[in-house]
Structure 1
Amino acid sequence: MERVGERIRNARESLGWGVSQLAKTMGVSRQTLHKWESGEIVSPRPDQLFKLARKLNRDPEWLITGKEPPRASSEEQHRLLTHFARLDPALRQSILTLICSLPPRE
């Protein structure tokens, strides 16, 4: 089974980025990124994982587990889920609270 570090490396390479480019974008050293990818550091901190997911255009769940999120059934849902996944976790929670408080469509 593919590890977190392998998924980070594969996503980085699929974007055509080198270690230096992603490390700079993340605000970490090349050595830290190498340790994540090699598994020397088993997994980045949660805040770093969410930032990695945004930078790599991947779902945080995929980075952590390797499981792809459910697919949207329409283009509108796909766009909504894509943008939602890129938000800061606290903002996502606020949006979920707001949405859950709305009355259902009649």
Structure 2
Amino acid sequence: MDRVQPVEIEKREDGSIRVAWSDGHEGIYPAPYLREHCHCAACIEEWTGRKMIRPGMIPPDIRPLRISAVGQYAIHIEWSDGHSTGIYAFDLLRRICPCPTCASERVSQL
């Protein structure tokens, strides 16, 4: 079975990132939401997996400055707050899609 892959990734004027997926789904990721879900070593404690980012640490007006591909599996985002060590794997992006359909599916799986 083929994995669902992004077919288009777009930085939008409002600072959000739009991802169009190969199965026709589309997700709009607000910048603060995406920044909060960074899984780099500076944002997630290596040994415990505890989030190091706390509410209020991410500026509400944060924006992606640059988005670049990392091979065929992820994107790298440079943020306006100076953070640039996060890599967002495509499977993570799909798993955390904030659209109402995906959010309700996550709740129903609890």
Q: TM-score, with normalisation over the residues of structure 1? A: 0.23
Name the structure with the higher helix share: 1
Higher strand share: 2
Q: Based on CA coordinates, which of the two structures has the bigger radius of gyration?
A: 1
TM-score under structure 2 normalisation? 0.22
Bigger relative CO (Cα 8 Å, ≥ 6 apart): 1
